[in-house]
Structure 1
């Protein structure tokens, strides 16, 4: 129990410390800790948690920390993970805003923000590729590309909120009828 709580705290502390760029940039870090390092859930479950988390209001990092913490360590785990992911952000925000207030006109301060952008872009691209590969393996090329194009069109061209697109897909999956089983499948 103590070991699990310690692992939860350290995992989400790393996420809070290195998740520059906000909630979406933390998602690859959460994936690294939760799926790859600790194996608290698999890729499919992580994708489901991410999808549902995106449909709910509020920051994605805290929603994921709370749920994963609860799943791994109960109520104490949820609190533990939330504190671990929030405290570094609060401390960094106060420190960086103080630094920016004093030295915001300096080139090195402006370069700090610009230097993080390519790293976050690469992290998001890797996560996107991982999700694409997973989707392609379960749905096939055509369905994956079609769903991606339709979702991209709705979000970027028509301005539909991503949470609504994800919610519609979840609802469609829930309402989709079960495929009929043949007599030979039913007897197995």
Structure 2
């Protein structure tokens, strides 16, 4: 039963993940966190950040993670195959039709109409991640600084998102290491004074 649920969930993600990549993330969240509760919200956010930092398509990395988390290697294989299957079927079956009729008003209108829906889905998920990041942040000034720095690098300097994620990981790791060192040092100083 769980294998069938894995297949159906990831088949739906692959089927409705129009545009791939970031447009699939809200679908992953809905299926894996809200509907089936295979992954906790905090774990999903952490693994999404890690998946963004690794090379390759985000969809297959998240499918592999959730599938493996639920049912080991077999679950990872089923999740990835189910997620990729709709794309393969559509590409084989409809690519000729789309290329033949791409300039037709109905097909062009359909493609244009779906884009605002994708933008709204991505904006809602972004807002939820910002809220969770804000609530989980001990120092609000650090969260604001990381957000501002990311926006500057992405929007004004036009840096690749992978580089921005890499810098954020390095800065976060450096800060966490420094904070742990500072905390241990203060405990050590207090212990020595007693």
TM-score (norm 2): 0.86
User: 8 Å contact 1:35–1:46 — kept in the other structure?
Assistant: yes
Q: Deviation of residue 141 (structure 1)?
A: 4.6
User: 8 Å contact 1:62–1:85 — kept in the other structure?
Assistant: yes
1:113-152 equivalence runs, <5 A: 113-139=111-137, 141-152=140-151
What runs of 5+ residues in structure 1 fail to find an aligned partner? none
User: 8 Å contact 1:53–1:60 — kept in the other structure?
Assistant: yes
Corresponding residue of 2:82:
84
Number of residue equivalences: 182
**Higher relative contact order by CA 8 Å / sep ≥ 6: 1 or 2?**
1
Corresponding residue of 2:103:
105
Corresponding residue of 2:156:
157
Q: Which has the larger radius of gyration?
A: 2
User: 8 Å contact 1:21–1:116 — kept in the other structure?
Assistant: no
Secondary structure class of the residue paired with 2:183? coil
Q: Deviation of residue 4 (structure 1)?
A: 1.8
Corresponding residue of 2:38:
40
Q: Deviation of residue 95 (structure 1)?
A: 3.0
CA offsets, 1:108-129, max 9 Å, x none?
A: 0111110110110010011001
CA offsets, 1:39-87, max 9 Å, x none?
A: 1112221111111111111111011111111111101001000000001
User: 8 Å contact 2:68–2:76 — kept in the other structure?
Assistant: yes
CA offsets, 1:134-153, max 9 Å, x none?
A: 01111165433321111011
User: 8 Å contact 1:132–1:144 — kept in the other structure?
Assistant: no
| CA distance in 2 between partners of 1:167 and 1:66 (Å) | 21
Corresponding residue of 1:69:
67
Secondary structure class of the residue paired with 1:20? coil
What runs of 5+ residues in structure 2 fail to find an aligned partner? none
Corresponding residue of 1:168:
167
User: 8 Å contact 2:146–2:168 — kept in the other structure?
Assistant: no
Q: Deviation of residue 36 (structure 1)?
A: 0.8
| CA distance in 1 between partners of 2:38 and 2:10 (Å) | 13
Corresponding residue of 1:60:
58
Secondary structure class of the residue paired with 1:74? helix
1:29 and 2:27 equivalent?
yes
Q: Deviation of residue 156 (structure 1)?
A: 2.0
| CA distance in 2 between partners of 1:131 and 1:149 (Å) | 15
